[in-house]
Amino acid sequence: MILSATGLRKHYGGDPGVDAVISADLIVGAGEFVSIVGRSGSGKSTLLAMVGGLTAPTAGRVQLAGDEIWDLPEAQLADVRRERIGFVFQFQSLLPNLRAIDNVALPALLGDKVTPECAYARAQGLLARVGLSDRMAAFPGQMSGGEQRRVVIARALINEPQLLLGDEPTSDLDEETEEEIFALLDNLRREENFAIALVTHNHALAQRADRMFEMRQGILLPSAAPRDFAAVPIRYAEPTAPKTPAPVGADADGARDFEKLGRTLWATAGRIFAAAALLFVLASTANYGVARYQQYELDTGRQRLAALEELATSTLQSDIASITQLGDGRYEVTIYLENTKAEQPIYVMSPSVQGFVQVGVGWQEAPLTPIEDATAAVLKVTGRQLYRFIFEARLTKFTELLPHYMHVRFSNSMLVSPESTPTNELFQRVDNYYVYLKPDNVDDATIAKDVRFPGPPPLWIWMPPH
Amino acid sequence: MSTDQKFPSEKVASEIAAPQGVRPLNQRGRVERREVLRAGAAGIIGTIFGGKSANATGLFSGLMGDSASAAEANAPRLATLGDYVWLTPTKLGGGAQVQDLATGKTMAWIEYWNYGDSCPIAHHLAAFPSADPRKGFEFVNSTQGGQNVLIYGIPTQIREHGMLDPLWGQGNQIYRVGFDGQQMNLLENVAETTGIGLGVHTVIFPDASGFTVADGQKDVVAFFNRATGNQKTTVIDAFRFDWRGNEPDGVLEDNWFKGGTVRVSRLLKAPDTGLYDYRGVKGNKLDWEMVPMGEYLAYSGQLPGDSVKTLTGADNCVHHPIHPLSLVTLRMFAVGVVIDRTTMEPVACISSPDGTTKENIPVKKIADGIWDIKLDNVVSSGHECGFGPHGKWFTMTNNTRQNSMGVFDCSDRDPRNWKRVTEFKDSHWVGSTPSPFHITYSMDGSKMFVSELHRKPAKSAIVVVDTNTWTTIKRFENVGVDLQTMHVTYDGKYVLAIFSGFQRLEGGTFIFTQDTLEPVGYIPNFGGHHDCVIVPRNNEELIHSRCTTV
């Protein structure tokens, strides 16, 4: 007898709650094949979970080869699940990023009983026995449903379990494949001598078991008398001696991979750390160098911009040079541009000059027309150069900050560069020149009554750029 | 004039250049931004296209998080500036504010128009020593004439709105203000108390017993006894300076450059009122302040006023730190008239520019309260000046025509023995601008800091001069537009330089270290300031404040 489950009950919730399994007694001999049928919700899967050490029963006992599994500490119970019981569920449960052989070998690798070489060798053998010798390196996503189910079976057997629990392992397969899988399980059982407790809807298959049980509303009932298994000796799990088969193909690669992840973990981690440290030093050095270069570039750029600003705002000077009266409200306005360091030319996009007269608290634009050189597009300024404009200030009403005088603003916008064909930044400079301008129609005597000057009232009054 | 058509576009920068959105009328089209940027591969800097600032952080800043930028790293933490109180006028704002440099908090402010002044222009100020400025101190603040609003290009209507009252709308008030630890209180309008209204430099005597105020529009300098609290200020003496040119009827600039005589007159009180008669516009020779470079307006006849030809430009009066001597700068000639405060008489005149016939010009007493100073020739105008903190030397700026500084040995008690020992001229001072402007010294006097004024829109610089060799040892370029006065923290760690932005452009306070001359950064300062002081805590600190230099 490999499994003895007696008086099992599973109750969920409080009072009244639900009894998923009311009463179940299941005895399975070594190498015996029992099947359990029943309607959905009858408690079949819960029974299997209690037998397999997955769900603790509310009452009852489960002995596996004489060991009371629910009295074991969790760690040992986990060992029992991994080493002595194989599971085949109704869902695939393969790890999608591992190859077939890795999936099969994994339960053996998780323990410390076998070497990776042994685990992969057995996995290789199992996959061959389930007919997947040419699909060992395939990933689950590359396999059919039947193939995946074969891999699951192989995985369930990797640790040579005493008991294989199958919960609807073929429910989603077509009839032909289901038959193949069932036959495979049965053949393996015979070869490996493990017991099977199989939950299935398929009565035809269930009837091919040694004994059949039926779960009805939480109560497990025998459907047929079991065969005599007295002749079949109980096979207890024994420690597996390390084996060193010649690694071949995918299983050998997997074994080597596991060596790197396992036994050589700290050495590998050390190497990784050293490599990372080296990379960090190299990266830091490179970063420092790049930062230095960036700083150099920034400093150079700042110096260039500062020099450009100096050139455009200090070296280049500009203001109203003179204003003469032409009559009829027209004035000739001369603006100078002066390069105070004549050794280096300054290139200026010719001034865009506008004229305004204060009216109220605003500035009213008055026509300002460039003449002669002031119309040029680009000016090469090497000394003091003059531009002339015609300003037409024919306003009848304007604000007199200084009695009788117009308050005038000339706005001059320039783009400045030290190069005739600029390859770097340009400096945009906007000047405002303010003057008081004497209108045509006011005579000096009238002005002199309200404003005193040391001489005749000037035509225009320059306001210092202060 | 030559032209060069390599520039890629014939179109005028209108759309991108005119911040007010104005249109060009000169028929040359518009600059296409794309074309300009194609021409200038790296873009355009200046007022429109400011580039994003960059930091040299290497490759991995994005992975490791942004490190502090250089600007952040260099940004001054106000607490590091020291336990000082920072007093600044707000110029066209018409008031003054006091900041706590330890916290950055504005402790209090005052606006003079709140007291009935229809057009105050808070100009220069000076603070009297206080043992604990946070608990209280007093200062005097002059205000300029209201018509100065008309010379900055502001489209104002103050005249139309009747705000230029000759007495209350034309400035020349001298406000004495007290900070009581919580707020500022207007204690006295010295102009109203004494009848003398002046609008430029206010400078306190080294013993804090009084102060002077000068005004280049009126050519008047007044010496006041200090009052405190509710007391009233009294006048010690006041002088007027008038010019009589040798050739007053020729070309106008010859009125000054062909020489002449400065007449110094002691002002008298009106017998009927007991007050002087120089309030508001009374006594103004000029309608506007003579701003830097304003001398050109006088030379060209473009400066309106009742008596332009008599202009001397008596703009400031500074005090020797040891001897009881005060020096009045006459800007039109770059000379200093030295007044002995023990006798209240002018006793000497020194000439700063290179090329004048005499460095120390005699002062001739004509009658009681009248003196003449004959200047054979005039070669340049001047502006600001200052005594070194040890009283060993004196410097004055020569502007417009020379752009240099005269350096005098002023250690002698008798100013008639003061000699010009050298001339300092920075290599950048070529032509009419840039030009030296305000002056201050390091605490030990080993360095002279000179603000270097550039024409708008250029930014001003600071020149650091070794006073042993009188050579430039450091320049801070592009500090800020319209840099004004500077002040050293009394622990000798930092120099603070205020810039006003010609009343409307950028403003702030630039800071650098006094000894290592490293730039520290900027702190905000609002209001277009024209002057600054750290309130002194005793007379020793006062020497380094608005006392010996302007």
CATH class of the structural domain A315-462: mainly beta
- CB spacing of B45 vs A386 below 8 angstroms: no
Token pair 């296209």 is at which residue?
B49
Asked if the model's pLDDT at residue B7 lies above 90, the reply is no
DSSP code at position B43: -
Mean pLDDT (whole number) for A342-350: 85
B241 pLDDT exceeds 60? Answer: yes
Pick the CATH number of A3-253 from 3.40.190.10, 3.30.930.10, 3.40.50.300, 3.30.160.270: 3.40.50.300
Work out the mean pLDDT of chain B and round it to a whole number: 87
DSSP structure class, residue B30:
B
CB nearest to A349's CB, from B13, B153, B309: B13
Q: Which of A409, A453, A459 to mutate to test the interface with B (most CBs of B within 10 A)?
A: A453
Q: What is the mean pLDDT of chain A?
A: 86
Residue B315 and residue B383 in contact, taking contact as beta carbons nearer than 8 Å: yes
Architecture of the domain defined by B79-542: 7 Propeller (2.130)
Could you say which residues from 168 to 207 on chain A have a Cβ atom under 8 Å away from some Cβ of chain B?
none
Any chain B CB within 8 A of the CB of A363?
yes
Q: B-chain residues within 8 Å CB-CB of A287?
A: 58-60
Which residue, among B10, B22, B25, B429, would best test binding to A if mutated, counting the most A CBs under 10 Å from its CB?
B25
For residue B382, is pLDDT > 50?
A: yes
**B49: which chain A residues are within 8 Å (Cβ-Cβ)?**
428
Phi and psi (nearest 5°) for B126?
-150, 140
- On chain A, the residues whose CB falls within 8 A of the CB of B504 are none
Q: Is the dihedral of CA A376, A377, A383, A387 positive or negative?
A: positive
A311 has a pLDDT exceeding 50? yes
Structure letter (DSSP) for residue A312:
I
Measured between beta carbons, which residues in chain A are less than 8 angstroms from residue B454? 313-314
In percent, the amount of chain A with pLDDT more than 70 equals 90
User: Chain A contacts of B16, Cβ < 8 Å?
Assistant: 428
Closest-CA residue to A164 (of A196, A190, A189):
A196
User: Nearest chain A Cα to B17, which residue?
Assistant: A413
Pick among A356, A415, A416, A433 to test the B interface (most B CBs inside 10 A): A415
Q: In what order do the strands lie in the sheet with B404-409?
A: B381-387, B393-399, B404-409, B419-424
Q: Contact A139/A98 with Cβ under 8 angstroms?
A: yes
Task: Cite the residue boundaries of each domain of chain A with CATH code 3.40.50.300.
Answer: 3-253
What amino acid is encoded at A314 in this protein?
S
pLDDT in tens, B48-76: 233 344 555 555 544 444 443 444 444 44
- Could you tell me what percent of chain B has a pLDDT over 90? 74
* Terminal C-alpha separation, chain A: 111
Partners of residue A417 in chain B, C-beta under 8 Å: 40
pLDDT band at A253 (very low <50, low <70, confident <90, very high): low
A310 → chain B, closest CA residue: B458
Q: Please tell me which residue of chain A has the smallest CA distance to B11.
A: A377
Whether residue B176 has pLDDT greater than 50: yes
Q: Is B105 exposed, middle or buried (0-12, 13-18, 19+ CB in 10 A)?
A: exposed
Chain-chain contact of B153 with A340 (C-beta, under 8 angstroms): no
CB contact under 8 A, A463 and B152: yes
Q: A76-103 pLDDT, tens per residue?
A: 888 888 889 998 887 777 888 889 999 8
Give the count of alpha carbons within 13 A of B144, CB side only. 28
Rounded CA separation B385/B320 (Å) = 11
Asked whether the predicted pLDDT for residue B17 surpasses 50, the reply is no
**A297/B contact by beta carbon, under 8 A:** yes
Whether residue A262 has pLDDT greater than 80:
no
What is the rounded CA–CA span in Å between residue A34 and residue A42? 17
Alpha carbon of B11: minimum distance to chain A alpha carbons (Å): 7
Instruction: Specify the domain boundaries for CATH 2.130.10.10 within chain B.
Output: 79-542
CA distance A249 to B52: 60
**Helix A249-261 crosses helix A265-310 at what angle (to 10 degrees)?**
70
DSSP of B289-343: ---TTTHHHHHHT----S-GGG---EEEEEE-SSSSEEEEEETTTTEEEEEETTT
Strand-by-strand arrangement of the B210-215 sheet: B202-204, B210-215, B220-225, B234-245, B260-266, B370-375, B364-367
Give the full edge-to-edge strand order of the sheet including B533-534: B106-111, B95-100, B85-89, B533-534
Q: What is the spatial distance between Cα B502 and Cα B93, in angstroms, rounded to a whole number?
A: 13
Cross-chain CB nearest to B58 (options A287, A386, A464): A287
Do B203 and B317 touch, CB atoms closer than 8 A? Answer: yes
User: Cβ A453–B27 below 8 Å, yes or no?
Assistant: no
User: What is the mean pLDDT of the segment spanning A401-424?
Assistant: 92
Mutation target among B4, B5, B251 for the A interface, most CBs of A within 10 A:
B4
pLDDT classification of A312: cutoffs 50, 70, 90: very high
Any CB–CB contact under 8 A between A267 and chain B?
no
pTM of the model: 0.68
- For chain A, residues classed under CATH 2.60.40 are 315-462
Q: How far is B459 from chain A (nearest CA, A)?
A: 8
Using a 10 angstrom Cβ sphere, with 0-12 exposed, 13-18 middle and 19 or more buried, the burial of residue B290 is: buried
pLDDT at A243: 41
Task: Name every chain A residue with its beta carbon within 8 A of the beta carbon of B52.
Answer: none
Residue ranges of A 422-441 with Cβ closer than 8 A to chain B: 422-432, 434
Nearest CB neighbour to A415, from listed B13, B22, B431: B13
